[in-house]
Every structure is written in structure tokens, then in C-alpha cells.
A and B are shown apart, each in its own frame.
Chain A
Amino acid sequence: MQTVKDALREIRRYPSAIVGLLIVILLVVLSVYVVIAIPYQEAITLWRGGDDIWRSLPRTVPPAWINHFRSQKLPETIALDSRKGAAERHEAPLGDGKSITLLYSFDYQADDFPREINIFFETSFKERAPFASITWYTPDGREISIADIALSVGSSSYRFNQDDKLLRRIRRQVGDVPVEVGLLVAPDPGENPQPLKGTYQVKIQVTAFDPETQLDAELVVYGKVHGIAGTDHLRRDLKIALLWGAPVALAFGLLAAAGTTITTMIIAAIGVWFSGLVDNLVQRITEVVMMLPLLPILIMVGTFYSRSIWIILGVTILLSVFGSGIKTYRAVFLQVRESPYVEAAQAYGAGDWRIIFRYLVPRIVPMLIPNLVTLIPSYVFLEASLAVLGLGDPQLPTWGKVIQDAVANGAPYKALYYWVLEPAVLLMITGLGFAMLGFSLDRIFNPRLREM
């Protein structure tokens, strides 16, 4: 207990240790929160989900906070769902069937045009398909007829920029611009078309041919920014992956570092204590394993057997146990073995294993802790490296997988910097946090280095 207190007091003298410790604590708190708030299964379902979960988010848009640094504000997504009461609904009987009117209003104040505009229908009817006509009203009172379509049973969608008829009409009226620009652009656009600010309305007028017809619709005016993290090419909110990356990185880094350093130390202690043949064997194995190309072997394991993060973790530990650490620990154990207190232990008749675990191993713990902490980042980056190679866990979202998605989809070339930078910065902060803490702990626990 006293040593822990002393260590804490020492840590206070190193600013980099405090920063490192703060980062580590923050990461741990974040991980615990994430694991509770978004349970494992839910995270996987969300991340593996397709259009059904993510349809109302725009593709590859940066986070919303970049608007703070821009004079021209980018739009955020406006999603209006009639099931959530976001539309005025009027129903009236009409012949054998009925007429349903859904009226959506939204206020548009951004300085840029939306990414795209879609309407998702949810319909049920008996025989004849209901018929919908969509009209767009601009703030200055113009009325633009969008489309007349027949609705099918279940889910269907109408995508504004995939309607050639609408595009031709827009071309005639406004000029050669995409649909979403043509609908929002202020009249008489000069060199630099601007969206008209104000309240827009969209009317969906449905003629149903039987009175039991049910209809709901969601209007989505996709923005050019989203949330705190932005979205990727599959419309997924990057927040999920960035948040879940923290516990995965911590778990992988910690388990791998702890697994390797502790077993390495015990093997070194056993080798030194039994000396002779055992020691020789340990040393030769170390020389062989040090030369094994770790990444190619992990690639082979990932390709041939399993990409599960836990299998990869196991193989990593197995291959790193006889790492260069053994030589360092061995040198220290060789000194410790000659200490008088070990001789005393032998004299009172302590067994081999008792001496190893009660006399040799504890002596090296001060050296072990900084090593362990310093090793964590390299394993965090190893997991990211494998993910970037396309050998990441097939289910879990991790930081490395976000980078891989980004690079594979050409994010650096398309200037989608947020997509690469967000996970990269998180990796960097994590790596730096542990490395800074480890380096300072090393100086605290090994006073010989302190003057340097």
C-alpha cells in the first residue's frame, strides 16, 4: 500500500505521466459507458445493419460541428415521419375508397443545398394500388409538381434524383442542375446559386381505392453534415464504430500486453533458476521466435482459419511470449539469483517453484509494469494494422476497420478527411496516453534512468 502511495506521489512530479494517466482514465470510463449504453450484440446489429437501419442518414458526410468553423453553414438532415406525427394528415372518403393528404413543413436555413431528397412509403391495401401525387411548395409561393406514382404493398421509396422526368422538368425551368438544387435554389441564380431560406412544404396527395388502406410516409431531406462523427459510405453513423473502438482497443491492448509480459517474465525466471538445459532451450526458442515474421503469420492465420479478434489475440500472445523481453528479464534475474536473500531461502529449504514465484518474480514487478504499459500501444496498433489489411474482426466495429473502409473507398483522394482523421486521432491519443504513462513509470520505477 505504501509503495502505491509513493508511486502516486512520484507520478505527480511528471506532467507527461499525469496527461497519460488522464487519457487512460478517460478511455476506461468511455469504454465502460459504451459497453453499458450500447451492448455488444446491439453494436454488432447496428454496424452490420443495412438500409433498414440507416436509410435516413446521408452518405459520407462530415460531422456537424464543422459548421462552427464555416461561415457557409452546411445543412443537417431533416427527417419527417408521419408515424411520429411530423406531418399534417387529412383523410376523407372518396367514392369507394378515400383520399389521404400528408402535408410536411420544414424550415430550411442552411447556406448549401441538401445531399439528396427521398420519401419512404409504408403502405397496406386490399386490391388496387393507391396512387400518390407529390407537390413541392417553396417559401416564395411557387408550386412544383414532383411526381405521380403508384404505391406497392409494404415498403417502397421515391428518390427525387433518380426520377428522369423530374430532372428534365427541372432542367427546363431552372437549368442544368441536380434535382435537389433545382428545388431549393433562389430565383434568378447568378454565378453562385444559393438556396432560398424559409419554410418549405411537401404535399403527398394519395387516392386510395379501398377504405382500409393504411399509409405512412417519411420525408428525408439529407443534409451535408451529421452528428458528432459523420457517416460512412453505407450511411452508417461513425459514432458507433468510434465509440466501440475504445473498449475493443483497450481489451486487445491490455490482454495482449499483460498476457505476453507476464508469461515472458515467468519463463525467463524459470530459465534462469533451473539454468543449464532449460535456460539454453528458452534462449534458443527466443532466438527462433524473434525472427518469425509476426504480421505475415497473423495474416496466414486470419486468411486460413478465423478472423475473430480473440483468436488473433491468442496467436499474438503465443508468438510474442518468447519475444525480446526474455533477454532483458533474464539479465535482471541473473543478478537477483545471486542475492543473499535467495540463498537464505534455499538454506531454509524453499522449493524451486516457491523461490521462483515468491522470491524472483516479485523483484522484477517494478520493471514489468512500465514495460506492460508501454507495450499496450503496439498491440492497439497491431489490431488496427490487421483491420487495415482487411483481416479485422468480421463483426465488431473497430477504429482500424473505419480507417480501412475510408482508405478502400478513396477517402484521402476525395478529400473526406474526417473519415480517416477521426479514428486515426483516437488511435494516436490512445497510443500516446499509454506510451507517455509507460515512459514516466519507467523513470519512476527505475531510478537509474531518472537523471537522464
Chain B
Amino acid sequence: MSDQVLAIPRKRAGTSFVQSSMVRVLRYTLVRGVTLFITVLVGVYLTVLVANMGGYVDQIRKGEIRENIMIQVMNNPALRNLSPDAKRQLVEERVRLEERRLGLDQPFLIRSFRFLENALTLRLGFAQLMNSDSGSRQVKLILLERLPATLLLFGTANLFIFFLSLFLALILSRQYGSLWDRLFVVLSPTSSAPGWFYGIFLILIFAGWLRLLPFGDLVDAPAPQSRILYALSVGKHMILPIMALTLSSIFLSVYSWRTFFLIYSSEDYVELAKAKGLSGRTIERRYILRPTLPTIVTNFLLTIISLWTGAPIFETVFNWPGLGRALYQAVGLFDVPVIVGSTVIFAYLLAVTVFLLDIIYAILDPRVRVGA
């Protein structure tokens, strides 16, 4: 329905309509952006609360202050001639002053907001045990270094799953009741198992038994020198993880999306379009895909969120050097700043994902554009 309603004002009003719908999309995006920012704020604050119940956050901040002052004192040429004892005294004195300056002697409520501010600006402190590959102890660097690997794997997998599901769902909705259709319906409960679970099976089959693909990791060791070979090696290592993520979500998405398509293809306006003699492809694109896309995007969003949250374990199973495995390693080493830091980064990642899909949603959903 909405499509036809839309079509009339567009012809009459021309550019002014386009402008007003742009404004609406922008306004919607802005409102969502602000809401998401507040969400992240609350989420990170909760993280701080959970972490600080054992006083861990204070430890992180005090450790950071001490490390900074130590470096300052060591690197100050004016202080080079001091005896080690005098230097230590100087450090202690400065640490005390700095802690007072930063308000570490203040009540928890005020301190918690300061830490929230630090977390939001990614001042995540220093790791206790872990190092980044470049040798830094800064949690921010450790985590940002891991981010590209995670983004590469999950970004590719999500895009692949989205388009493959869409494609299969469209085909199945055309062949409602066929053998393939029933197969997908029967297999849809398999999506209750998470990706890492299928990962273990796939590793057993393709790496352990058939020896066709690597057990895990990002590239071959030693890593190939030429760029092209490097990319090919990474690609080879991505096959199994992407297969695992696909297996864990595709049957359910295809099943539910095909059901959407079927519901929408029995609408009156689709019948009318058929009666007008429009081709199958046009009907599919304009009359079935268009109205269902917003719902599908929302649906897909939930899948992405669950994939994101599963990253720590998924990357561990595949030994993928990403953010999730950093979190897993931090748990093993009990490296508190890294654990808190990765939780904060995960909150950000979720928010960014939701925000991006919200923009797409705003562009797709006619209700946002016409302001209904």
C-alpha cells in the first residue's frame, strides 16, 4: 500500500518532497544517534559499576597514575642525579598529589562518573600483564590492534549471511512447499546452536580429518611476504569461521524471511500487480522486497548482535587474533583493565552496528521518510 501512497506526492511535489524526506531521515538518524549514545553511556556505566564493586577500577586508575609518574621522573633529565631513594620518595609524593588532584579520595559516586568519562574517551589505562604486538601496555592500543581482525571476519560473515539468506529466502518463497522449502523448515531449529559449536565440528572435519583447511589463526606461519599471497592466506583461514557463522544462523533467517515474503505476497496489491501483467522480478523487487526490507533489517540486526556477543568464544575456538580472543586471554591472565576495556569496546561496537543499521532502516522505511 505504502508504495502507491508514496508515489503520488513524489510526482506532484518534486524536489521539495525529496528535501523534506531528507530532513526527516536526518532528524530520525539524529534522534537515534542521541538515544544510542545515552544507551552506550548507561551500558558503560553499568560495566563500571560491575567492575568497581570489587574496587578494581580504582586499582586500574592508580596503576595508571603510578606508571605515568614513574615515566615522567625517569625521563626528566633534571632529576637524573638524584639517588634511587630520593627518586622513589619523589614518585610517592607526586602519586599522592595526583591521586588527590584526580579525586581518588572522593566518594565512589563521583569517582564512578570520572571513570565513565575515561572509558567513553577510551582512556582505558594500562594492562597488568598483556602487551600489544608493538609492545605497548596501553589497553587502548592492545584492543585497537585487534579490532581490524574482528571487523574483517564478522563484517565479511555478516554481509555474506545477509545476502545469501535474502537470496535463498526469495527463491524458497517462489517454490513454497517444495522439497528445498521443507528442508529449510525442518532444519531451522539447528540455528539454536551458536557459531563456535559448528566451528568445532567443522574444524574436526575439514582440518582434523580431511586436512584441507587450517585449524585456525589469521594467516599461515610464517606469513607470506607478498600482499596477494597474504590476502589469499587470510582468505583461506576465513573459510571455516564464515562457514560456521553461516551454518549457525542461515536456516532460521531463511525460514523466517521466506515466511515474511509469503505473507506479503498474498497481499491484494501484489495480486493487482500480477493482474496488471508485471513481470515476476518486478513484483518481487517492488511489491514484496520493498515493504518487507525494514522488518528484515531489524531481524538481521538481532542476528548481528548475537554474533557480536558470541565473538569471545568464537574467536577462541578458531584462534582468531581479534578482540574476542583478547578478552578470552585477559580472562585467563586475570588482566582486569583489559577485561573492562574490551567490555567497553564491545558496547561501542554494538552501538555502532545498531546505528549503521538504523540509518539504513531510515532510508528504507517509507514511514520515516513521509513522517507518518
What residues of chain A have their CB less than 8 Å away from a CB belonging to chain B? 16, 287-288, 290-297, 299-305, 324, 374, 377-378, 381, 384-385, 388-391, 403, 407, 412-413, 415, 417, 420-421, 424, 427-428, 431-432, 434-436, 438-439, 449, 452
Contacts and interface: CB of A to CB of B under 8 A. Distances in A.
Contacts of A303: 331, 334, 336, 339
B339 A292 contact: no
Interface string B40-59: 10110011001101101000
Given A288-B43, A324-B302, A420 B200 contact: yes
Given A292-B43, A300-B343, A412 B204 contact: yes
Contacts of B53: 304-305
Given A381-B197, A389-B312, A297 B192 contact: no
B157 interface: no
20 contacts: A288-B43, A291-B39, A291-B351, A293-B346, A296-B339, A296-B346, A297-B47, A299-B327, A300-B47, A302-B331, A374-B192, A381-B192, A381-B197, A385-B196, A385-B313, A389-B316, A391-B331, A412-B208, A417-B209, A420-B200
B316 A295 contact: no
Nearest to A295: B309
Residue from A296, A301, A305, A384 whose CB has the most chain B CB atoms within 10 Å: A296
B317 interface: yes
A449 B256 CA distance: 11
Interface stretch (B100-108, B182-190, B224-232, B288-296): B182-190
Nearest to A391: B331
A284 B197 CA distance: 33
Enumerate the 7 nearest inter-chain pairs by beta-carbon distance, A residue then B residue, closest first: A435-B189, A377-B192, A293-B346, A296-B343, A435-B192, A295-B309, A431-B192
A290 B301 CA distance: 11
B113 interface: no
Nearest to A451: B262
The contact size tier of chain B is: 35 or more
Nearest to B191: A435
B200 A304 contact: no
A262 to B, nearest CB: 20
A389 B328 contact: yes
Contacts of A427: 193, 197
A97 to B, nearest CB: 55
A296 B327 contact: yes
B46 A420 contact: no
A438 B209 CA distance: 34
A293 B309 contact: yes
Main DSSP-derived SS at the A contact region: helix
B201 interface: yes
A299 B312 contact: yes
B132 interface: no
Interface string B270-282: 0000000000000
Contacts of A384: 197
Nearest to B302: A324
Contacts of B207: 412
Contacts of A421: 204
B51 A407 contact: no
Given A291-B354, A438-B189, 7 more contacts: A287-B39, A290-B305, A292-B46, A388-B316, A390-B332, A407-B317, A452-B259
B213 interface: no
Contact of A439 (B38, B43, B189, B332): B189
A85 B336 CA distance: 57
Interface string B348-367: 00110010000000000000
Interface in B29-81: 35-36, 38-40, 42-43, 46-47, 50-51, 53-54, 56
Contacts of B302: 324
Contact of B312 (A295, A438, A449): A295
A297 B334 contact: no
Contact of A431 (B193, B204, B209, B340): B193
B355 to A, nearest CB: 10
Nearest to A440: B189
B328 to A, nearest CB: 6
B336 to A, nearest CB: 8
Contacts of B316: 388-389
A304 B334 CA distance: 9
Residue from A292, A374, A432 whose CB has the most chain B CB atoms within 10 Å: A292
Contacts of B193: 377, 381, 427-428, 431
B189 A452 contact: no
Given A287-B35, A297-B343, A304 B313 contact: no
B368 to A, nearest CB: 17
B223 interface: no
A287 B43 CA distance: 11
Contacts of B351: 291
Contact of B200 (A294, A424, A432, A452): A424
A377 B42 CA distance: 29
Contact of B215 (A299, A385, A412): A412
B363 to A, nearest CB: 21
A378 to B, nearest CB: 6
Nearest to B192: A377
A410 to B, nearest CB: 10
A315 B86 CA distance: 49
A293 B343 contact: yes
Contact of A390 (B39, B194, B308, B331): B331
A297 B50 contact: yes
Contact of A407 (B200, B336, B343): B200
A140 to B, nearest CB: 40
B166 interface: no
A407 B20 CA distance: 57
Contacts of B51: 300, 304
Given A291-B40, A391-B331, A296 B309 contact: yes
A413 B39 CA distance: 43
A388 B328 CA distance: 10
Contact of A388 (B56, B192, B196, B334): B196
Contacts of B317: 388, 407
A381 to B, nearest CB: 5
Contacts of A287: 35, 39
B347 interface: yes
B249 interface: no
A299 B192 CA distance: 21
B144 interface: no
Contact of A300 (B36, B209, B340): B340
Contacts of B56: 304
Interface string B311-330: 11100110000000001100
Contacts of A417: 204, 208-209
Nearest to B308: A293
A432 B197 CA distance: 13
B259 A420 contact: no
Interface in B120-178: none
A427 B197 CA distance: 9
Contacts of A377: 192-193
B263 interface: yes
A290 B46 CA distance: 13
Nearest to B189: A435
B194 A385 contact: yes
Contact of B342 (A296, A305, A390): A296
Contacts of A432: 189-190, 192
